[in-house]
Amino acid sequence: MTTAQIDDETPAGNSRWQRLAPIFTLIVFAPGIAEVMSGATRLSFIFVFIPEMMVWGCGALIIRDLVRRWQGGWTIIFLLGLALSIAEEFVIQQTSLAPFPWASASDYGRVWGVNWIWFLFFLGFESVLVVLVPVQLTELIFPSRRNHPWLKQSGLLVSSIVFLIGSFIAWFLWIKIARAKVLHVPPYQPPFLAIFSGIVLIVILAIAACALRNVGNRYAVRASTTVPSPWIAGIVTLLFGFPWYALMALIFGPRRDLPLWIPVLAAAFWACLAYVVAHWFTSSPVWSDLHRWSAVSCATLVCMIAGFLGSSAWSLTDIVAKAILNVLAVAGFIWLALKISRRAPATVRCHSS
């Protein structure tokens, strides 16, 4: 699809602000949901939100725009979200490769220089809550621009440059400042083979996403017009989301003697089952914006509630600030649900495969 074609298909008559609003909303939402709402980024070091917007925000924006140019669906967004997560864990901050800098963390699951339990958790967490959920939420807020790219070629180039600069800043702040001067852990240089393996996985996922971009459009959605109510969709999201945090319990909880292959296979099975259920739900022609809202809001609710599990070492200011932001987020989701319920039924079904 050429730039001219994209411009022709973009809704006409939009002001400059209307064109830029979804872009900046997604840039804020990507780190805002995954980092701030979860408590991973707290008020006491909120300055890191700037490089997070450069990495997570621009990363999610680039992924979303590429997929819309390909006319792909959420499965392709998810695949590229996995690639972005691997970039973070193996290349940018290397948290899945370096030994943990926290005294409360065990080395359970560290084999061949990789923190496998940590890697599995964040592979799911970041691909869903950094990319998939913020993209879906932003498109719910701006439904008229849902099926269109938001960037021109120049915008993609600028976003890519900002992403690369932000990645360097994030690497420097974590590797050179936080680990060395704040947490006082010895420097660690991951083996080149480990970093190279991560890059290979990123390339494979990118190729797979490109190759599969039209798969969802080649097959008709399933004939069944039945789909659970939006409330059931939300409950199912909660039931799949909370058990994922059991992986973190293996690292920060009591020492476990469980053979590593058991939680690894269990996590892989759980992730595959969640994908199958999500694909089954969203492939129905009656899957609506209220269903999408329910899944997105409940996924965010999981990370907000589970984020308090590690709050025992936080300052009171950080706890109160997170609680206030979480309450405001819930209020925002309620407002969005009311707004969606007043909309006329969509005449064009968005990409869901």
Is residue 346 a part of any domain in this protein?
no
> Which of 289, 297, 291, 296 minimizes the C-alpha distance to 339?
289
- pLDDT tier at 278 (50, 70, 90 boundaries)? very high
What's the distance, CA 99 to chain centroid? 24
pLDDT, position 3: 42
Least confident segment among 11-25, 115-129, 301-315: 11-25
Segment 190-206 shows an average pLDDT of 94
Least confident segment among 108-122, 191-205, 247-261: 247-261
Is residue 332 a part of any domain in this protein?
yes
Is residue 231 a part of any domain in this protein?
yes
Is residue 271 a part of any domain in this protein?
yes
Phi, psi at residue 110, to the nearest 5°? -90, 110
Q: Give the DSSP per-residue string, 55-87.
A: IIIHHHHHHHHHHHHHT--HHHHHHHHHHHHHI
pLDDT, position 212: 86
User: In angstroms, rounded to a whole number, what is the distance separating the alpha carbons of residues 323 and 103?
Assistant: 26
pLDDT, position 107: 85
What is the phi-psi region of residue 191: left when phi exceeds 0, alpha when psi lies from -120 to 50, beta otherwise?
Answer: beta
User: In angstroms, rounded to a whole number, what is the distance separating the alpha carbons of residues 307 and 302?
Assistant: 8
Is residue 5 a part of any domain in this protein?
no
CB 265 within 8 A of CB 117: no
Higher pLDDT, 256 or 170: 170
- Eight-state DSSP code of residue 351: P
Q: Which domain holds residue 200?
A: 14-341
Segment 231-256 shows an average pLDDT of 91
Answer yes or no: is pLDDT of 284 > 70: yes
Segment 326-345 shows an average pLDDT of 90
pLDDT tens, position by position, 2-21: 443 444 344 544 677 778 99
Segment 291-298 shows an average pLDDT of 96
Give the position of tokens 């900002």. 162
Start-end of H helices in the chain: 3-9, 16-31, 49-52, 58-70, 74-86, 116-126, 133-141, 153-171, 192-211, 215-218, 230-241, 246-252, 261-282, 289-306, 316-341
pLDDT tens, position by position, 28-57: 999 999 999 999 999 998 999 999 999 999
Q: Which two tokens stand for residue 167?
A: 């990645």
Find the helix or strand (DSSP H, E) in which 110 lies: strand 110-111
Answer yes or no: is pLDDT of 224 > 80: no
Answer yes or no: is pLDDT of 246 > 90: yes
- Number of domains composing the chain: 1
User: In angstroms, rounded to a whole number, what is the distance separating the alpha carbons of residues 28 and 54?
Assistant: 9
Residues 6+ apart with CB under 8 A from 267: 120, 121, 124, 244, 247
Answer yes or no: is pLDDT of 348 > 90: no
- pLDDT tier at 343 (50, 70, 90 boundaries)? confident
Burial class (CB in 10 A: 0-12, 13-18, 19+), 257: exposed
Higher pLDDT, 246 or 219: 246
Is residue 351 a part of any domain in this protein?
no
Segment 67-77 shows an average pLDDT of 91
Higher pLDDT, 137 or 216: 137
pLDDT, position 304: 96
CB 96 within 8 A of CB 89: yes
pLDDT tens, position by position, 155-184: 999 999 999 999 999 999 999 999 988 888
Is residue 349 a part of any domain in this protein?
no
One-letter amino acid at 94 equals Q
- Please say whether the dihedral angle defined by the alpha carbons of residues 328, 38, 297 and 236, taken in this order, is positive or negative: negative
Answer yes or no: is pLDDT of 308 > 60: yes
pLDDT, position 248: 92
Q: Which two tokens stand for residue 332?
A: 């925002």
Is residue 6 a part of any domain in this protein?
no
- Eight-state DSSP code of residue 131: I
